[in-house]
Each structure stands twice: as C-alpha cells, then as structure tokens.
Structure 1
Amino acid sequence: MEITDQNASLQSPLIQYSGQDGPNVDDIEQNKKWVGARTEIIEEVKKQLWLAGPLIFVTLLNYCLQVISVMFVGHLGELPLAGASMATSFCTVTGISILLGMSTALDTLCGQSYGANQHSMLGIHTQRAMLVLMIVSIPLAIIWANTGSILVFLGQDPEISAQAGRYAQATIPSLFAFGLLQCMIRFLQTQNVVFPMMFSTGVTTFLHFFLCWILVFKTGLGNVGAAISNSISYWLNVLILILYVKCSPSFAKTWTGFSKEALNNIPFFLSIAIPSAAMVCLEMWAFELLVLLSGLLPNPKLQTSVLSICMNTATTVVMIPLGFSEAASIRVSNELGAGNAWGSRLAVYVVLVMVIIEGILVGTAMILLHNVWGYAYSNELEVVKYVATMLPLLAASNSLDGIQCVLSGTIRGCGRQIIGATINLGSYYLVGIPVAIVLAFVFHLDGKGLWLGIICAVAVQMLTLIIVTIRTDWDREAKKTTDRVYNSVKPDSIVS
C-alpha cells in the first residue's frame, strides 16, 4: 500500500493547478502550430538556398562562356568584335532562346514525376526532350549557316555580317550540345542534385578560358577559334554530366538506359514545350529589340553603347533571381507531384520573401555604385555619366524582375506555361515596347525612355503573375498534377 502511494506521489505534478489558473489548452495548441509552422518555414528556406546557390553559380558560369569568347575576340579589333557580338545576339534570338525555352518543359514533367515517385519517368521525359531538341536544332543550324546572308538582307553592314556569318557557322556544333546540356541540367536539378553541375560547369569554364586563348591567338583562327572553343566547352560539359549520370548509383531508378518509350507521347511533350519556349523567347526577344531600337536614336553610337552596358549589367545581376526561379520551380513541382498543396504554397511564399530581400540589397549596391560603374566598360566621360543616370532605373527593373522571375518559376512548376506565355506577350508587346517607343522617340527620353518602357512591361508582368498566384487553387493544381503524371505513365509502369 505504501509503495502504491509513493508511486502515485512521484507521478503527480509538483505544483497542483486549479482549473482556473491552469494552462489554456487552446494556447498550447496554438503554440504547437506556431512552432510547427516556423520549423516548416526554416526547412523550406534551407532547401531553397541549397538549390538556389549552386544554380546561380551554374547559370552565371554558363553565361560567362559566351562573354569570355567575345572578350577574347575584342582583342582582335573592332570589326571582329562587332561581328562576334552581332553573331552572338543573332544566335541567341534564333536558337539559344528556343532550345532553352523548350527544355524548361522538363521543370514541369521531371519535377512533378519525381515528387510523385514515378522515378523511371524522369529518364524517359529527358530522353524525349533530347530527341525533340536535336530535331529542332537541325532547321536552326541551317539558319545559323546562312547568318551572313540573312544579316545583309536585313540591312546590316556587309563586312560585319560576313564576320558574324563565319562566327555563327563555327558555333553550329554548340547548338546541339546546348540542347542536350539543358536537358541534363533539368534532369539533375529536378532531383535536387545540383553540386555535380557546379563542378562540371566550373571545370568547363576554367578550361574554356585557356581554350579560347589557344584557338584565338596561337592557332591564327581568330574569331572562328572563339566560336570553336564554345562548341568544345559545351560538348565537354555534356560529356561530364552524361558520364556522371551513367556511373553514379544515385540514378539507378531515374536513368535506366535509353527506352523506346521516349518515342511515344511526343505531342504531349510539345504541348508543354512550345508554350515554355514562348515564355522564354517573348521575354528575351523584347530585350534584343530594345538594342535594335537604340540604334535609331540620335547619336546611335552612344545610345547603343550605353544600352549594351545596361543589358550586360542587367543580364549579370538577374542570374541571382534566375537561380531562385529554378529553385521555386523545383520545389513547387516536387510538392505538387507529391500531392502536397500546402508545401507548394509555402515554397512560393518563402522564395518571394527571399527574392525581395535580394532585390533590395542588389538595388542598393547598384545605386551606390552608379557614378563609377561605367568605368568598368569605358573611359569615355560621356558614357560613364550616361550609365550613371541609367543605373537607378536598372536597380528598379532588377527588383521587379526578381519577383516576376520566381513567379514565372512557379508557373513552370505548376505546368501553366500557356498562361505565362500569354502574360509575357501582353506585357512586353502590348505595353512595354509601345511605351518604350513613345517615351524614347515622342518624348525624346532616348535610352531612358526605352528602359522605362521595359520597366512598365516588367511591372505589368509582375502584377499579373501576382494576381494569378493569389488566385491559384493549390488543391486543384495538385489534382491536375496527379492526372498529368499518371496520364504520361504506362499502367504497368506505375509505382504506388
């Protein structure tokens, strides 16, 4: 009896609460919910930073390949530099943007399949994308082979067009490599495998520098040598990633070898790939059109030079939001594939907060450096002063562009590329470009007017995407994702 009483006393609380003074059950439950939500947020932040950091690195270094090549050509003289720059711009519009856009369909297909544990479908989707992109590359290669004639037909200088034509022809092998590379990158990143891409891209970019130096200066190939070095570097990157996927046991479930199933459902892939390409191309083409319009302004040499500096700067700083955009796409597609509507919604909220903070920090840095940034590109005082007046506008556009970037990533993660393409069409071609023309040529704001037009386009794009995101029914998106994933899988291949 005494033992029983002792046990009872040991198990009873030291302080006895009356019903009136005791802890509130609702408060305890609320506290548990808050702790749980805070833990989820912290975990989501960690996941996205883990993805975004390497992806920013990979995106930036892939962009640097073209920049390094053009920099080496610049030491050959004005004419080779003008030809290489024109060829790079032409190839971006007529090839790179199309293949890049089509490959982003894998953000949807592979990301959602991975979230749904249909691992074998990742390899099949990727092989199907490789096949389609290789076929699409053939007519694009024919266009590149006739770059010189096309540029002359469009009224460009014959000498520069000839230089650009030779550069573009030597770049043709890189077109096929670029398509394969983008497919491999998306195959890996949708599985949250990002550090091997950092390694392969880092090694490729490091070697590319020496390759350019040898082929441009030591072999006498000139600007053609720079173009050949692009092709070699892209193929080297593809080879490293393919060997890694082939040899690593991590991909035993997702890459089971080449399958005849990749030849099926090509229209299904195109139904996502074509709107994906439209999303990317409509945006990239608008910026290229801006440079062309600058050549029609008074003092076109100054206007084009300054706008080129602005484009270069904007392209460099936007690599950070692009990394977050890819992270958002991966997280949203993975969570929707797993049927987790709340997880996909949380991923959007978290990435938006992070990219807003990034935009404020980068924008502040750009404003603080506005008086000296121009010296990085030119010693001409007129150019430096003009760039100083443009940089605050770039800071504003970068902040807006960051938000639309991650929301566009969300659109890809959901598989709603048709909506994204429609928004981009309206934002840039019904608002941005017309406003830019009016401000630059009617109100004589010149380069500032052109960039203000782009800011208007990005603002409309961002606001529309915010409205679409707010009105998204995430439970319905999860259901649509489930239907999409299992409709693309053979019944005997479904993994429960």
Structure 2
Amino acid sequence: MTSKDRAESEETSSGYGSISRDVDAVVRTDFDGHTSVDVTTTTSGAEFKEIGRNAAPLMITFLLQMSLSFMTVVSVGRLNALDLGGVSLANVTFTATSAIFQGLATCLDTLCPQAYGSKRYQLVGLYFQRCVAISTLFAVPIALLWWFSAHALRLVVDDPRLVVIAARYLRVMVSSIPGYIIFECGKKYLQAQNDFTTGQYILFVCAPLNAFFNYLLVFRLGMGYIGAPIATSVTFMLMGISIVAYIWYQKGRNGDMDCWNPMCNWRPIFSNWEPMISLAVPGIVMIEAEFLAFESLTILSAKFGTEALAAQSVVASIQTLTFQVPFSTGVAASNRIAYHIGKKRINDCRIATKTTIIQIGVILAIANFLFLVLGRKQVSTFFSKDEGVVALAVQILPIIGVNQFADVFNVLAAGVLRAQGRQRIGGILNILAYYVVGLPVAVTLGFYTDLGVKGFWIGLGCGIFVLSIGEVYCVWNSNWSQIIHDSHLLHKSTQGGNL
C-alpha cells in the first residue's frame, strides 16, 4: 500500500471521528481477489467516545417515540376503565405487529453504514428507497389485519365491548402506516451518515404535539377514546413528512458524498430485493421473538389475579425503559462497526467490537443492575400507589436487575451481528433461547412452584443468559476477513453486479 493509498484509506472526512495515523498495513487477498486491510486507524478510547456520543440522542429518540403510545393510555385512562382496557388491547396489538416494520428496517443497520464506509454513497439512498418499498409491501397484510382485527380479537378476548373499542382504534391506526415506515427507514438512512440527532429533533416537536392532539381531540372536542388513535396517526404522518423534508433538503448538499439515489432511476428500487429480505426477515424474528416472549408473561400473569397482573405491568414498563439504554447503544455500535466493515479495516472492527462488549457492556450492565436493585422502591412507587402492587414489584425488580445485567451483553452483541450482516444467527439464537429455554422454564416455575410471577422472570432470565452467552460467543469468534468479503459480495449483488 502506497502512502497515497494509506492516506486515502484513513481519511476522516466522513465525520465518523476516526483517528488518522501513518501506520503500516497488512493487505489480505482472498481467493476471489477481494482485499481487506489489517490497518489500525482508531483506538479503544476513540470508539468509546464515538459510540457513547451517538447513543445519547438515540436514547432520547426511542423514549420519545415510546411516549406516543404511552400518551394514548394516559389520556384515555382519564375516561373510564372500559375504554382504557380496549385501548390497551389495541396498543399491544399495534406494537406487536408494527414491530415488523422495525425488524425490516434493521437490514439498513447492515447495508447503509457499510455502503457509506466503502464510499458507495448512492447505494445508501438506494437501500433506503428499497426498504421503504419492501416495507410498503409488508404493510398490506398488516393493514388488512388491523382493519379486520375484530375477527381475531374475538378469539382471545371474552368481552365484546373491548373488542369493539380495540378494533375501531386499529382501523384508525391504518392511516399511520406510511409515516411510520418512512420515519423508521429515514432514521436508519441518516444514522448511516453519522446523523443521530435529526430524528431526535423531529420528536422534540412531534411528541409534545401528540400530547396536545390527544388533549384536544379526546377532551376538548369530546371525541372520546377514538381521538387518541387519530392524534397518534396525525403525529406519525408529521414525523414521516418531516424526515422526508429534511432528506430532500439535504439532497445534493454533500457534493461527491451525496447519498441520494435519483428517483428518475426507479427501476433498481424494485429489483434485487432478495439480499435485503435475507437480512430483514431474521431481523423481524430477533425483534418479535423477544417482544412476544415478554408479552406472553403479561398475559399469563392474569392467572394470578389483578394484583399480580398490575405488578407485572409495572415491572414490564420499568424493564422496557431501562432496556432503551443498551438498545440505543447497540444501534450506535452497529452503525460504527458496519462503517469499519465498509472501510475493510479488520483491526478497527475488532477494537470497536471489544470496546462495545467489554468496556461499554460492563458499565451499562452494572448501571442497570444498580438502578433496578437500589431504586426498586422509588421507581415502583412512581408507577403505582397500590401498596400490594408496589410490594410485589419490589420483589421482582432485583430479578429483572440480574436479567438486565445479562441482557445488556445480548443487546450489544446483537448490534454487532447486525453490523456484520449475520442477523440469521441472532434470529436462531433468539428462538432457541426464549422458546426452548426461557418460556418453558418460566411456565414451570410460575405455575408449578410457589414463585408465581417471580418464577416467570427467573425462567425468562435463564433464556436471556443462554442468549447472551450464545451471541457474545459468536461475535467474539468472528472471522472478520470473511465478513468483509461477504459484505463486498452482498453490496455487489444488490447492485445487480454493476460496481
């Protein structure tokens, strides 16, 4: 490698905060003539700072986005118990099925940063456009499911009044799908370019607007519970429009680094979908497997009475909030490592991965554990004033603290797997961990011992520990040269072979 080539390979104009060094490099050439470089342009400290800096706005973004559905429960909860029950049922259905769009968008965690790192800038925009098109195709059965949800809900809910409320809610939410898809894909498109704040700024405006719309429609205009899904749908529409407006404003401003694929060149958008779907489907499995496992516990908790169900809802809400910290960090790490893969820098990949798993992982695991154990009484009281509910939640939270200690490493390792394009491994491990180990042990401990709801969380924790060990093992023994080679072939195939 000449000094000129080395300088070009180590340039920092991408804005990713790489540290440029004049170092010798070992160039590996595989059987296909593809090269990867054993060159180090970063340090553990630089990776720690970069990933942490990008994770902070992501945490705020995810929390604000969560607040949209939370606000509907808060507003409708002031009406009556029947409306609240119906809306809660609709929210669970909405979250479970709309998570498919989040899973589809995870393929962009792999493709867009890798393409950006390898300077295939126009591919970043093409991947975004393809993912929107694929998600729109998947949206058709989801929209039909929501529109005719009453038929499915009657099979699991006895009260027909709850079914009517939930079904009407979901019909309105069909109109939220375009904005939801575009915002999810748009976030990934911008994150690949090291823009982790635009989504946050959009939600800084839209989240308060959502609260205002809920108040206006539900109470001031007297629309009742149906005003809540209208408010949420309008908010998602505004989010989608806002991110498209920003992308359009950004288009063409970066010169040679412009990532937009011209819409006049529309044929590639609707071709070569197979590589993206091969990444997206395991991404859906990873998200849905975990979500459905946790939701199953809430449904099963009803067998132990109202107090147990309420306590389960409290600790599940707390667990969801604390989960956002490692999840946001995992997304930031995924983008960073995928960028290094695009640059074909093996040592940088290794450094970023070890920094994520060892340094960041240990800090977050300890922080989450201490928060859930030491602050269990205070945080439980914030969610409920019922002494019986709080007492049971206080007993469960230390178990969740132990689970979260392991889950941090699982979430971060999953981010690395997405960066590598190995979502299939994560999907298989999720199914095995939750449905072969976690849920069977949880049901056994919950129903056949005196542990009750606590047994559910202990059993699920067993699955989480198995998942963490499996994913960390796979990440730790990564063949980075092969991963970089596979990445090259993947981008080549998505272009139809035209490099």
TM-score, with length taken from structure 2? 0.88
8 Å contact 1:337–1:478 — kept in the other structure? yes
Aligned twin of 1:328: 333
1:43 is aligned to 2:46: yes
Q: Give the distance between the partners of 1:218 and 1:171, measured in 2 at CA.
A: 21
- Greater Cα shift, 412-421 or 372-381: 372-381
Aligned twin of 1:370: 376
Q: Which consecutive residues of structure 1, in runs of 5 or more, have no partner in the other structure?
A: 1-28, 30-35
8 Å contact 1:116–1:485 — kept in the other structure? no
User: 1:375 aligns to what SS in structure 2?
Assistant: helix
User: Within 5 Å, which residues of 2 pair with 1:170-209?
Assistant: 170-209=172-211
1:141 aligned partner, one-letter code: A
8 Å contact 1:324–1:355 — kept in the other structure? no
User: 2:154 aligns to what SS in structure 1?
Assistant: helix
8 Å contact 2:42–2:348 — kept in the other structure? no
| Alignment deviations for residues 241-286 of structure 1 (CA, whole Å, 9 cap, x no partner) | 1111101244562113323211110222211111111111111111
Q: Give the distance between the partners of 1:218 and 1:72, measured in 2 at CA.
A: 12
2:354 aligned partner, one-letter code: Y
User: Within 5 Å, which residues of 2 pair with 1:456-471?
Assistant: 456-471=462-477
RMSD after superposition? 1.7
User: 2:443 aligns to what SS in structure 1?
Assistant: helix
| Alignment deviations for residues 7-44 of structure 1 (CA, whole Å, 9 cap, x no partner) | xxxxxxxxxxxxxxxxxxxxxx9xxxxxx989612211
Q: Give the distance between the partners of 2:383 and 2:367, measured in 1 at CA.
A: 23
1:479 is aligned to 2:482: no
Decide which of 65, 69, 74 is 1:66's aligned counterpart. 69
Aligned twin of 2:440: 434
Aligned twin of 1:242: 244
Shift of 1:467: 1.2
User: Within 5 Å, which residues of 2 pair with 1:80-229?
Assistant: 80-93=83-96, 95-229=97-231
Q: Give the distance between the partners of 2:366 and 2:317, measured in 1 at CA.
A: 20
1:455 is aligned to 2:461: yes
Q: Give the distance between the partners of 1:175 and 1:315, measured in 2 at CA.
A: 23
Sort the Cα spacing of 1:251 and 1:70 in 2 relative to 1 into closer, same or farther, 3 A.
farther
8 Å contact 2:102–2:184 — kept in the other structure? yes
Aligned twin of 1:21: none
Q: Which consecutive residues of structure 2, in runs of 5 or more, have no partner in the other structure?
A: 1-22, 24-38
| Alignment deviations for residues 209-238 of structure 1 (CA, whole Å, 9 cap, x no partner) | 111110111122211111111111111111
Decide which of 275, 280, 284 is 1:273's aligned counterpart. 280
Aligned twin of 1:77: 80
User: 2:377 aligns to what SS in structure 1?
Assistant: coil
Q: Give the distance between the partners of 2:118 and 2:409, measured in 1 at CA.
A: 28
Aligned twin of 2:386: 380
1:339 is aligned to 2:344: yes
Sort the Cα spacing of 1:37 and 1:125 in 2 relative to 1 into closer, same or farther, 3 A.
closer
1:284 aligned partner, one-letter code: F
Percent identity over the alignment is 26
Residues paired across the two proteins, number: 456
8 Å contact 2:186–2:243 — kept in the other structure? yes
Shift of 1:444: 2.7
Q: Give the distance between the partners of 1:55 and 1:360, measured in 2 at CA.
A: 20
User: Within 5 Å, which residues of 2 pair with 1:387-426?
Assistant: 387-426=393-432
Sort the Cα spacing of 1:118 and 1:365 in 2 relative to 1 into closer, same or farther, 3 A.
same
1:301 is aligned to 2:306: yes
Q: Give the distance between the partners of 1:202 and 1:250, measured in 2 at CA.
A: 25
Shift of 1:189: 0.6
Shift of 1:148: 2.5
1:75 aligned partner, one-letter code: R
Q: Give the distance between the partners of 1:251 and 1:133, measured in 2 at CA.
A: 27
| Alignment deviations for residues 291-345 of structure 1 (CA, whole Å, 9 cap, x no partner) | 1111223xx2111111111111111111111111101110111111111111111
TM-score, with length taken from structure 1? 0.89
Aligned twin of 1:263: 270
Q: Give the distance between the partners of 1:164 and 1:361, measured in 2 at CA.
A: 38
User: 2:376 aligns to what SS in structure 1?
Assistant: coil
Sort the Cα spacing of 1:66 and 1:343 in 2 relative to 1 into closer, same or farther, 3 A.
same
8 Å contact 2:273–2:494 — kept in the other structure? no
Shift of 1:366: 2.0
